[in-house]
Amino acid sequence: MNGIARLLTKLGASVTGGIARLGFATRFFVAILRLSGTTFARPQLLLREVYQAGVLSLIIILMSGLFIGMVLALQGYETLVRFGAAESMGMLVALSLVRELGPVVSALLFASRAGSAITAEIGLMKTTEQLAAMEVMAVDPIARVVAPRFWGGVISLPLLAALFSTLGIYGGYLVGVRLIGIDSGAYWGQMSAAVDWKYDILNGVIKSLVFAVAISLIAVFEGYDATPTAEGVSAATTRTVVTSALAILALDFVLTVIMFRGGAG
């Protein structure tokens, strides 16, 4: 009986703890929005974070986009050629990238590269009392440290996703047209005929934007809420990557249902 009581107590504590943390995260998000004035009033703060989160993620995003586009073309050709539709490769590559792979894979990579870095940086600032020092200097760390990093992430990811898709399409072109020998006009023509500006590209951008908000919020929150020890920062960094990945996949499903359920618009 005691064992069951202990189990229920633990379960209850973990549920109430989770709800309390969610509440804290919500208040934290509101505080970021409320204190974002400093970020936009001082563009150099924002530019630094766009550089840290965006520019420094370029290599991994561009290389991944290129290779995924190339693999997509190879795999796509294998299937399309069975139905005599190899000329549709441009459409396949572009739609796969713009609608799905571009936003999702770039978000996953962004969470691993930039999200983890943001969490570790803020967590270490907390551990070494840099955030406390700011508070004592009458400078709000949410306004000065958290908000610029949040907005830096929100701005960077959609741009990175666009570059990812662009390089992917170019990778598909290299394999499909240059290596396999599909007609160049068919590759680009099928693509431009099939890809709708609003239905495909805009929806892809909206997906990226939603993922960017989710990842950036998770990253700054985990850093700010990290236990100020070496293992606390390590655990927070891991949580950022895992939670972001799950959030991206869950949000992707929900957004795909909302955006693409009804067929081409």
Sites of contact with other proteins (CB under 8 A)? 124-125, 128-130, 132-133, 135-139, 144
**Least spacing, CB of residue 147 vs other proteins, in Å:** 14
Closer to other proteins by CB, 9 or 75: give it.
Answer: 9
Closer Cβ to other proteins, 128 or 192, answer by number: 128
SS3 content of the chain, % helix, strand, coil (to 5): 90, 0, 10
Phi and psi of 36, rounded to 5°? -80, -5
Burial zone of 235 (CB within 10 Å; 0-12 exposed, 13-18 middle, 19+ buried): middle
Task: Please name the residue ranges forming H helices in 81-146.
Answer: 89-95, 102-110, 116-127, 130-136, 141
Which C-beta is closer to other proteins: that of 141 or that of 172?
141
CB of 113 to other proteins, least distance (A): 18
At residue 195, the 3 state secondary structure works out as: coil
Least Cβ distance, residue 172 to other proteins (angstroms): 40
Residue with smaller CB distance to other proteins, 56 or 201: 56
In whole angstroms, the minimum distance from the beta carbon of 74 to other proteins comes to 43
Compute the chain's Rg from CA coordinates.
22
